[in-house]
């Protein structure tokens, strides 16, 4: 069987646009003797459609698009289509909607397999919208018994997990029913290290059941989620026939009768994959939200430098405006380093001093602050002045404001609401500070793009004389280790202390994470690249009291 894998980048809600992409692939690839064209999970709707699924008109429009695709298939009588879409259950109870893979052939909707396993962990909330498939069946198509599954249905192999979320394995059911080819349509979001895990799962199924396994995964950025693609065909021995590139659209027809080749799955380094993911995330967020240009503050620090480099790679140097906003405490080097970075990147650059505005604030508040010593209030005023200037530029010229804070700072609240947190997209909010340095070195791997001084200088907010991050925070390599244990792995205080960390530092970090939930709730959407990002994947109460 010759199967065309259509690794595409749908837009959530744009049913007409997504359908047009499907028509284009059908017209181009039905001519190359393809038996079946496979599109990703919920392709017609875009993934994740979230509360659009609660709108009956949206489901109806998806149904009409499915009918149009079926009608068009009549003009390509030798090629079937497998596409992901929401479908109605036609039942009186439940949510009334399935997450479905629909097989189309010669003008007819030949078969539907609905998703069986509906994830509700991390960023997923599918049980909120969908009903579970009532059954799992195979279908005979062109001499092959197809076992069709949807994303999570392939992730419950009992041999791979110590703890499973579900009591049964849909792939095992398909294999027992005599599937000779297993196909999984997917919208599996990216996170560091996940590509290799996904490949190992598919290889395990193929070897275990001695059947070829095909995965077609969505690619692109949709809000905070980034989809890496990496679609693949694995032969019955668990050897790759074809592994698609990551972070770009790719369509190709693969002959499943061929034997696989070893070494076709190249594991990407974590830093490289995070860099490519963030570039795609920025580019799609800008484009899909209707922007063409972006603005960001350049402090002379490594966070804004890395963010600027990623933005330039995503949308082009001609579409980036960097702004240096020196205060009375800004070093001369910070302005010069920012200017040098802008020159290296070829972006537009402005210097807008904030000292006059800051002086005006202090004079206005002098009487009201009488008897009070300067503290973090005066520091935050500077950050908020900068946020206002950047938002003014954003409003006036229609640029998307990119905020530049990293995950380590956001975790412990080392950031200012309505100041450096202002923005439409928080690019590196899921990137720990230690990974920011790795990204900087990766960006500089061929030549110096980020000035060496920016990378080597001690991190500082420069909001008071001789300020350094280490005056307030533990060393970042230590902080990031503790944060990974507490935030990403969910370890308790006692669990972390058993790893020989300093007790007072651990307690400070945990208290800081817990008490700053109110800040994170008001942060701009951030691009997810780790196993546990702040935002929709970590839902904590603000008005709460807990200590463990």
Positions annotated as catalytic residues are: 41, 115, 151
Phi and psi at 455, nearest 5°, equal: -70, -35
176, containing H or E segment: helix 170-176
Other Cβ atoms within 10 Å of 360 Cβ, number:
11
Write out the E strands in 376-510: 400-403, 425-426
Rounded to a whole number, what is the distance in angstroms from the first to the last CA of the chain? 55
| Rounded Cα–Cα distance for residues 410 and 421 (Å) | 9
For 374-389, write each residue's pLDDT tens digit: 999 999 999 999 999 9
For 16-36, write each residue's pLDDT tens digit: 999 999 999 999 887 778 999
**What integer pLDDT is reported at residue 92 of this predicted model?**
87
**What integer pLDDT is reported at residue 146 of this predicted model?**
98
Q: Which structure tokens are listed for 447?
A: 């030549």
Structural domains of the chain, ranges and CATH numbers in brackets:
2-257 (3.60.110.10), 274-467 (3.40.50.620)
Other Cβ atoms within 10 Å of 271 Cβ, number:
18
Cβ neighbours for 459, distance < 8 A, ≥ 6 positions apart? 301, 302, 433, 468, 469, 470, 476
151, containing H or E segment: none
**What integer pLDDT is reported at residue 157 of this predicted model?**
82
| Rounded Cα–Cα distance for residues 412 and 34 (Å) | 53
For 448-487, write each residue's pLDDT tens digit: 999 999 999 888 777 778 778 788 899 999 999 999 999 9
Split at pLDDT 50, 70, 90, the class of 546 is: confident
| Rounded Cα–Cα distance for residues 14 and 22 (Å) | 12
**What integer pLDDT is reported at residue 263 of this predicted model?**
61
- Asked if 115 and 152 count as a contact pair (C-beta separation under 8 A), the reply is yes
Give the mean model confidence (pLDDT) for residues 537-543: 91
Q: Which structure tokens are listed for 387?
A: 């946020």
Evaluate if residue 320 carries a pLDDT over 70.
Answer: yes
Q: In what order do the strands lie in the sheet with 2-7?
A: 108-114, 97-105, 80-88, 36-38, 2-7, 250-255
Give the mean model confidence (pLDDT) for residues 429-451: 97
Nearest Cα to 88, choosing from 116, 119, 53, 118? 53
Give the mean model confidence (pLDDT) for residues 86-108: 95
Higher pLDDT, 263 or 268: 268
3-class SS of residue 86: strand
Evaluate if residue 497 carries a pLDDT over 90.
Answer: yes
Burial class (CB in 10 A: 0-12, 13-18, 19+), 382: buried
**What integer pLDDT is reported at residue 162 of this predicted model?**
75
Rounded percentage of the chain residues whose pLDDT exceeds 70: 99
| Rounded Cα–Cα distance for residues 237 and 251 (Å) | 24
Summary mean pLDDT of the chain:
94
pTM of the predicted structure, to 2 decimals: 0.95
């Amino acid at each position: 069987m010759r199967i065309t894998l259509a690794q595409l980048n749908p837009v959530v809600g744009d049913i007409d646009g997504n359908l047009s992409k499907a028509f284009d692939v059908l017209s181009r690839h039905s001519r190359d003797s393809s038996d079946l064209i496979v599109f990703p999970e919920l392709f017609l709707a875009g993934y994740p459609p979230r509360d659009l699924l609660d709108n009956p008109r949206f489901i109806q429009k998806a149904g009409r698009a499915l009918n149009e695709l079926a009608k068009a298939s009549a003009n390509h009588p030798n090629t079937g289509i497998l596409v992901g879409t929401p479908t109605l259950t036609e039942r009186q109870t439940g949510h009334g909607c399935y997450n479905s893979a629909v097989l189309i052939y010669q003008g007819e909707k030949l078969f539907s397999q609905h998703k069986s396993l509906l994830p509700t962990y991390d960023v997923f909330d599918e049980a909120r919208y969908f009903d579970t498939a009532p059954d799992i069946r195979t279908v005979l198509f062109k001499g092959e018994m197809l076992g069709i599954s949807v994303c999570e249905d392939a992730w419950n192999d009992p041999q791979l997990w110590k703890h499973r979320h579900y009591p049964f394995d849909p792939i095992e059911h398909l294999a027992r029913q005599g599937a000779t080819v297993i196909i999984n349509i997917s919208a599996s979001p990216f996170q560091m290290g996940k590509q290799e895990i996904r490949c190992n799962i598919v290889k395990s199924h193929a070897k275990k059941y001695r059947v070829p396994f095909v995965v077609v995964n969505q690619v692109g950025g949709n809000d905070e989620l980034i989809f890496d693609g990496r679609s693949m065909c694995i032969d019955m021995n668990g050897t790759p026939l074809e592994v698609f590139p990551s972070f770009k659209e790719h369509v190709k027809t693969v002959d499943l009768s061929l034997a696989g080749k070893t070494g076709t799955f190249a594991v990407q380094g974590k830093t490289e994959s995070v860099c490519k993911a963030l570039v795609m995330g920025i580019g799609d967020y800008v484009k899909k939200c209707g922007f063409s240009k972006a603005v960001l503050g350049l402090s002379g620090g490594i966070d804004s430098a890395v963010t600027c480099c990623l933005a330039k790679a995503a949308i082009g140097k001609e579409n980036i405006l960097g702004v240096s906003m020196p205060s009375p405490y800004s070093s001369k080097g910070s302005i010069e380093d920012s200017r040098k970075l802008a020159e290296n990147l070829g972006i537009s650059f402005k210097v807008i001093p904030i000292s006059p505005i800051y002086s005006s604030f202090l004079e206005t508040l002098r009487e009201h602050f009488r008897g009070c010593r300067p503290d973090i209030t005066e520091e935050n005023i500077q950050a908020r002045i900068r946020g206002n200037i950047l938002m003014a530029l954003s409003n006036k010229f229609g640029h998307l404001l990119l905020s530049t804070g990293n995950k380590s700072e956001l975790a412990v609240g080392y950031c200012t609401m309505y100041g450096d947190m202002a923005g439409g997209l928080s690019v590196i909010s899921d990137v720990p500070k230690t990974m920011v340095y790795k990204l900087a070195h990766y960006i500089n791997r061929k030549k110096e793009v980020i000035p060496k001084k920016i990378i080597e200088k001690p991190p500082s907010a420069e909001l008071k004389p001789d300020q350094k991050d280490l005056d307030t925070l533990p060393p970042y390599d230590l902080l990031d280790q503790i944060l990974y244990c507490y935030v990403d792995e969910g370890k308790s205080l006692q669990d972390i202390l058993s790893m020989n960390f300093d007790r007072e530092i651990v307690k400070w970090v945990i208290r800081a994470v817990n008490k700053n939930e109110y800040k994170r709730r008001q942060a701009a959407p951030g691009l997810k690249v780790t196993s546990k990002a702040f935002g929709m994947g970590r839902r904590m109460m603000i008005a709460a009291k807990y200590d463990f």
